């Protein structure tokens, strides 16, 4: 690793967040309020939690992310009435896939985040970062 890469890694674990039409405004609100969370958090937007593929979670870890956070729609999804159940199955399948590939299932976290849940999102990022720091780096990427 170069000195620049080491400095970046010291900022905290790398987290990929899958955000949705419901959770995105809450995450944006956290920024608007100038609430602090690690600069090592990258957010990808998508319409609905049920569109996430378990293989994407594995791919993120294989490419150097230390964890994946799904900012789920919960019961608020405008697209599918059973989105929460689908998302739960996706998370379980992704955790099984992680385990099969030698990763701890705790590297995936999912929680419902609404459009005004800025403080909740920040708390989840801090708690998840602490969990990932205890697990250590994936060694990928």
Facing residues of 45 across strands? 19
Q: Which helix (H) or strand (E) holds 63?
A: none
Q: What pLDDT, in 10s, does the model give residues 10-69?
A: 568 999 999 887 677 677 667 666 667 777 888 998 888 888 899 999 999 999 999 999
Domain ranges of the chain: 3-135
Give the largest Cα separation in the chain, rounded: 49
SS3 34: coil
Per-residue pLDDT reduced to its tens digit, 39-50: 788 899 888 888
The dihedral sign for the CA sequence 55, 60, 64, 69 = negative
* Alpha-carbon gap, residue 78 to 24, rounded angstroms: 14
CATH number for the 3-135 domain, one of 1.10.10, 3.40.50, 3.30.420, 3.40.980?
3.40.980
- What is the pTM (predicted TM-score) of this model? 0.84
Pull the structure tokens for residue 115: 């459009």
């Amino acid at each position: 690793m170069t000195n620049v890469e080491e400095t970046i890694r010291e900022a905290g674990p790398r987290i990929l967040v899958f955000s949705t039409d419901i959770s995105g405004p809450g995450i944006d609100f956290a920024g608007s309020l100038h609430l602090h969370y690690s600069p090592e958090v990258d957010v990808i937007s998508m319409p609905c939690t049920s569109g996430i593929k378990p293989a994407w979670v594995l791919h993120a870890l294989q490419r150097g992310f230390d964890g994946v956070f799904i900012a789920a729609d919960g019961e608020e999804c405008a697209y599918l009435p059973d989105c929460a159940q689908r998302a739960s199955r996706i998370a379980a399948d992704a955790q099984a896939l992680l385990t099969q590939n030698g990763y701890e299932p705790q590297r995936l976290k999912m929680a419902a985040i609404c459009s005004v849940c800025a403080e909740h999102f920040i708390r989840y990022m801090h708690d998840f970062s602490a969990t990932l720091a205890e697990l250590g780096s994936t060694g990928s990427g």
